[in-house]
Amino acid sequence: MDPSAPDRWWEPFTQIDGTRIIHVDLAPHASREAAGFEQLDTAERSRSGRFQHAPARRRFVLCRAALRSLLCTHLNCDNARLSFGAADGGKPFALVDGRPVEVGFNVSHSGRHGLIALAPSGRVGVDVEERVPRRDLSRLIAATFGPDERADLAALTGGDRVHLFFRLWTLKEAVAKALGTGLSFDVSRFEIPAAIRSGATGDLFRVPQVRDVQWQLTDIGDEQFAAAVAQEAVGTSA
């Protein structure tokens, strides 16, 4: 699909330094899903067929097709030349003609919203979550957050507490996804900087267990969803 086509389902959301964040509309749409499926390679089509539930299959197809179009434009290559590999932690990377290329990207989706982060270089992670009620909120807070974060959450009630929960959750998930360590990384072992917990949009941060890299954390949530980006801060490695 031509990325300039009027019925494309993705559009720019925001930009942080050189990293672009693109919003993907994941609402049911038969013609978009058909067009997206055509953009996938053989392995991706097979993977889409393994999703048992239509919403999960739709999210995969629309996000992967949008990612392919964005990467092809960025890398100036045809769709057929683009493929993907996976690092040890499962984090994907892009290849053109079978050779790895320097570009950072990450994908997240929740409900009808998808986000793609595209960085010219360096690692990047993005997370998006619709703010839906959670029956297990207290259990998740106890399992996911550190003592200062739990204290901040305990001081709030109702919608304010839910809003902060999802804000901190997406920030932590963005860090874990940028690191590329998958589910093996325990996000309860670090806390989001106090400045961000107090309302700042972003701050620099080092994961205590991986102190050789500094990360730029940014809250990019809006009224529709909570969302965050973590990107490797250029020129700040220890």
Residues 69-99: pLDDT tens digits?
999 999 999 999 999 999 887 889 999 999 9
Domain boundary among 77, 92, 121: 121
Is the domain of 218 the same as that of 139? yes
Is the domain of 115 the same as that of 151? no
Can you give the residue range of the structural domain that contains 57? Answer: 10-121
Whether 99 and 145 have beta carbons less than 8 Å apart is answered as: no
Reported as a single tens digit per residue, the pLDDT across 139-155 is 999 999 999 999 999 99
Query: What mean pLDDT comes out for the span 192-210?
Result: 91
Whether 96 and 82 have beta carbons less than 8 Å apart is answered as: yes
235 pLDDT band (50/70/90 cuts)? low
Whether 166 and 131 have beta carbons less than 8 Å apart is answered as: yes
Whether 172 and 144 have beta carbons less than 8 Å apart is answered as: yes
233 pLDDT band (50/70/90 cuts)? confident
Give pLDDT, residue 46.
97
Does 174 fall in a domain?
A: yes
**Number of domains within the chain:** 2
Measured between alpha carbons, how far is residue 1 from residues 27, 28, 68, 132, 235 in Å?
18, 18, 10, 33, 37
Whether 126 and 89 have beta carbons less than 8 Å apart is answered as: no
Q: How many angstroms separate the CA atoms of 128 and 73, rounded?
A: 24
Q: Is the pLDDT of residue 182 over 70?
A: no
Q: How many angstroms separate the CA atoms of 159 and 165, rounded?
A: 10
Give pLDDT, residue 88.
80
Is the domain of 117 the same as that of 15? yes
Q: How many angstroms separate the CA atoms of 120 and 234, rounded?
A: 11
Angle formed at CA 36 by CA 69 and CA 51, multiple of 5 degrees: 120
Q: How many angstroms separate the CA atoms of 236 and 215, rounded?
A: 9
What is the CATH classification number for the domain harbouring 86? 3.90.470.20
Q: What is the pTM of this model?
A: 0.93
Give pLDDT, residue 231.
96
Give pLDDT, residue 6.
56
